[in-house]
Amino acid sequence: MKIDVWSDVVCPWCYLGKRRLEGAVARFAQRDELTVRWHSFELDPNAPRRRELPAAEQLARKYGMTPEQVAANWERLTALAAVEGLEYHLDRTQGGNTFDAHRLIHLGDAHGLQDAVQERFMRAYFTESAAIGEPDVLEPLAVEAGLPRDEVVDVIAGKSFEEAVREDELLARRYGINGVPFFVFGGRYAVSGAQSADVLLKALSQAWDEREAA
């Protein structure tokens, strides 16, 4: 059974949701019969390769928040991430356009390494403060995740997988997805947001049971 997940590599809730999904899958008896497919979703398609504003100021402007509200929100997110074994440094993040990152995640799918590429990009952004919109940053990360360097270079320099990213985003609009992470279990049950592993496991189990009964 397939689990479809829409996410962006610069979305802190998406990385949290990834870990919680992994926790749910680990507890599922038929986990070896599951396939997780990552789909592209750009939180800001018009973002430059690298933002000039500090992360805190960018977030405050975008959502009309005070510096104190940003700090409190980050503290909460960092604590939630730590529970899942993730290390966040949100004040150091270097935001930017994620279109090329999504194209490389599709290249990862072609090599059976989609999850590895997704994971490497997210860790680089949230833990290592990598400028994830820069091609010269993406290339070594993708290679480290296992992708062939020559193919990575060709994707970054060309237009490969552009259509795949757009198709993911079109499907998201058809589903009415306006925020990520967004999970679809077996094409039957949808869960929006970084819900707990328990909630995700329940949706997974229901989708599986209905699939078996069909």
CATH code of the domain containing 91:
3.40.30.10
Structural domain count of the chain = 1
| Cβ neighbours, 10 Å, residue 52 | 7
* Residue linked to tokens 């599986």: 208
For 3, the 3-state DSSP assignment is strand
Chain segment 116-172, per-residue pLDDT in tens: 999 999 999 999 999 999 999 999 999 999 999 999 999 999 999 999 999 999 999
Chain segment 68-124, per-residue pLDDT in tens: 999 999 999 999 999 999 999 999 999 999 999 999 999 999 999 999 999 999 999
Given pLDDT bands bounded at 50, 70 and 90, which one contains residue 52?
confident
Task: Report the pLDDT value the prediction gives residue 174, as an integer from 0 to 100.
Answer: 94
CA distance 146 to 135: 17
DSSP 33-81: G-EEEEEE--S-TT--SS-SS-HHHHHHHHHT--HHHHHHHHHHHHHHH
CA distance 157 to 145: 19
Task: Report the pLDDT value the prediction gives residue 53, as an integer from 0 to 100.
Answer: 84
Domain residues for the domain of 30 are: 2-213
> Among 70, 19, 4, which residue's Cα sits nearest to residue 204?
4
- Global pTM reads 0.96
Q: Is the pLDDT of residue 212 over 80?
A: no
Chain segment 167-210, per-residue pLDDT in tens: 999 999 999 999 999 999 999 899 999 999 999 999 999 999 98
